Amino acid sequence: MTIKLYELAGIDKSRPFSPHCWKARMALAHKQVEVETVPVGFTAIAEIENGGQTSVPVIRHGEKVIADSFKIALYLRDAYPDRGDPLFRGEGSIPLARFVEAWSQSQLHSWIIQWSAVDIHAMLNAADQAHFRAKREKQFGRTMEEVVADREGRAGQLRQILTPIRMMLAHQPYLGGSQPAFADYIPFGALQWLRICSGLAMWDRDDPVRDWFERLLDLHGGLARSVPEASR
Ligand SMILES: N[C@@H](CCC(=O)N[C@@H](CS)C(=O)NCC(=O)O)C(=O)O
């Protein structure tokens, strides 16, 4: 049965950019599930599946509606125990993936939003722009333009933030071990957000973390690579 995935999109529906939606997209592909994607803007999230949703990704599978990328991954693990590769290898990998989520959200996302806020804004329609600006400027305590104004001076911080993944790569090719797992899709989703909204010109080509990222772009028939990098 096809799973419907509601994912965030701007004016160009062929460039879904949300980090959390990319986690869900990769998890669905990992489990070899047929997907129908439904692009939604920020201001349309409240109308998904007759209302009540506050964020995407959201999936519908038969009678079930599930929101939140991590919950979706856990649902897919239970719904498709024998299909595709495991998203989690052993019970202990779930709390560790939660740690990866906390690290990615607190370190990587906060750097990316301060790099990409104006680029994301430029991708949205007028209603979504107003929503995004209000929410982010409340969070920043200043305008988006002020936040990104000195971003070039922060370019090198990205390499620093990615140090834990670089150190791990000395021992294993993926956060999941010898094979990718949901834990990989968590920081991958964040970097795909950066790639689609702002491009990766600030990220050293010789960083081994980039090799890991490129390998994930190639997975599942090049699903994530099929959305071109921004050329800003
Ligand atoms: N913990 C959630 C976070 C989802 C989330 O924050 N999604 C953003 C898009 S990237 C959203 O829908 N934001 C709604 C808004 O800003 O109004 C998950 O992992 O799915």
Whether the predicted pLDDT of 113 surpasses 70:
yes
Residue 221 CA to ligand 1 center (angstroms) comes to: 26
Q: Are residues 99 and 201 in the same domain?
A: yes
Domain boundaries, position 143: 93-222
Q: What are phi and psi of 191, to 5 degrees?
A: -70, -30
Q: Are 201 and 121 part of one and the same domain? A: yes
Ranges of H-type helices in the chain: 19-30, 69-79, 93-103, 110-122, 126-140, 144-148, 157-161, 163-168, 182-197, 208-222
User: Same domain, yes or no, for 67 and 170?
Assistant: no
- Does residue 151 sit in the same domain as residue 75? no
> What's the pLDDT score for residue 1?
84
Q: Do 193 and 138 fall into the same domain?
A: yes
pLDDT over 90 (residue 28): yes
Above pLDDT 90, what percent of the chain?
Answer: 97
Q: Which CATH number does the domain housing residue 65 bear?
A: 3.40.30.10
Ligand 1 atom showing the smallest separation from residue 68 Cα: 20
* Last residue in a domain, options 79, 110, 133: 79
Question: Mean pLDDT across the stretch 74-99?
Answer: 96
Structural domain contains residue 84: no
Pairing of strands 35-40, 3-8: parallel
Whether 80 shows a pLDDT value over 90: the answer reads yes
CA 6 – ligand 1 centroid, Å: 12
Picking from 79, 111, 140, the residue at the C-terminal end of a domain is 79
How many helices (H) and strands (E) the chain has is answered by: 10, 4
Query: Separation of 58 CA from ligand 1 center, angstroms?
Result: 10
Going by pLDDT thresholds of 50, 70 and 90, the confidence category of residue 201 is: very high
The CA 109 to ligand 1 mean position distance, Å, reads 12
Res 232: pLDDT: 65
User: How many separate domains does the chain show?
Assistant: 2
Residues with a CB atom less than 6 Å from ligand 1:
8, 18-20, 42, 45, 55-57, 68-70, 135
What's the CA gap between 17 and 174, in Å, rounded? 23
Task: Tell me the pLDDT tens digit for each residue of 185-194.
Answer: 999 999 999 9
Inside any domain, residue 230: no
More confident residue, 69 or 84: 69
| Residue 24 pLDDT class (50, 70, 90 cuts) | very high
